[in-house]
Amino acid sequence: MKPGYLSEYFEGVAAKRLSAVEADETRSNQHEYHATKKVQAFLGSPDEKMRMTARFLYLTDDDHDPIMEDAFLTLYNCRRGKPRAPEYHLYFPTTNVSLNASEGDLLVIAKKRDGGLLVIIAENGSSIGRQIEWLFGFSDLTHPGFSVKSKLETEQDRIEFASRFILENIGIAVETSEDNYLEDMLSRFNGYFPTTREFSAYARSTLKDLSPQEEPDHVLMTWMEREEILFRTLERYLIADRLSQGFTGEMSTGGIDVDGFLSFSLSVQNRRKSRVGLALENHLEILFKENGLSYTRTAVTENKAKPDFLFPGVTEYHNPAFNSLKLTMLGVKSTCKDRWRQVLAEADRIDVKHLLTLETAISTHQTDEMTAKRLQLVLPRSLHQTYTPAQQAWLMDVASFTELVRTRQNM
């Protein structure tokens, strides 16, 4: 097991596309998946029925939170006692997850290091399904039966910024820290979280010898990765410190301040959700400054819309005499989901909108719709490889975007 790789969390992973019989309970009462020899290699091949606890998840792009239910899988030899080679099947019960499954959906069965199973079903054609395929390195699931990975320690399996967020979407908490900076952060920020802008500036200050002009894609991802690690380091300490103080309340609740605990928990979740997007905007602002680009951040356009970045600025945008072909707008969303459509109404004078995101492996259905709506997706170069070859030919990287804005600025 190598720290920093998927093997730190999983012993083995199997994936396939659901057949009609496996997905449609009206067509079969078997409720079974065929456990091939490769699946048995990490799940086992017991003589007796083996019941394993499992958490079932159903994922779609439409719902932020998955449908989730705790149940079990039962591994057994359906030919036990017969003079034939053993054949193992995995029995699954009816759950809210299985009731939502459809033919063609992605099925992933992952055995965690603690022995529990994670059974993931992702909607066919969804971005989250594509992201999970990329995360575990499954490129072709058109054949029947399971594809299996058990080592999970190749370069593809290294856990980095993008893969960490996908793992957390499926309920795997990835622990990462940089304790060498903890004492400095506690002293500098007086034991509290600073503003996002202050924290982004601090994260950048810990990195040297980076060139936003020469390597904007690499620099942006390096800044984001460093801030994420430093944030988790400080957050972990502050949460532990707060929990150690306890939550004391009224005797009617057993002397526990339930409302106080819930409020604290909610604040932790909200800070996590809002921080990444703001951090991305903060680092982009510095990157644009370093590249000599003129811009306005959150300028007000039509109907009080506020695009994240407007180039060369809000004054030029509202000047009817200024050539609209020299205007550029950039929306910034760390993850897209369906929120990318919000960008379309943020600057009426600009026909082709740009959207920068850190989301991996967006479905072809979504990117085709973006193209039809004249929205150009921008991603750091290192994330392009999570997309299909056809999508990669269309994607723009950060270096290309900054050069486009610079060319328009110098027209």
Residues annotated catalytic, as ranges: 317
Distance, CA of 183 to CA of 181 (rounded, Å): 6
| DSSP-assigned beta bridge partners for residue 296 | 310
Q: With b meaning 16 or more CB within 10 Å and e meaning fewer, what string describes 326-348? A: ebbbbbbbbbbbeebeebeebbe
Give how far the C-alpha of residue 21 lies from the chain's centroid of Cα atoms, to the nearest Å: 31
Q: Are strands 88-91 and 106-112 parallel, antiparallel or unpaired?
A: unpaired
Q: With b meaning 16 or more CB within 10 Å and e meaning fewer, what string describes 60-98? A: bbeeeebbebebebbbbbeeeeeeeeeebbbbbeebebb
Rounded to whole angstroms, what are the CA distances from 197 to 167, 224, 272, 280, 283? 26, 13, 15, 10, 9
DSSP state of 216: H
| DSSP-assigned beta bridge partners for residue 76 | 89
Strand ranges in 202-270 using DSSP code E only, listed in sequence order: none
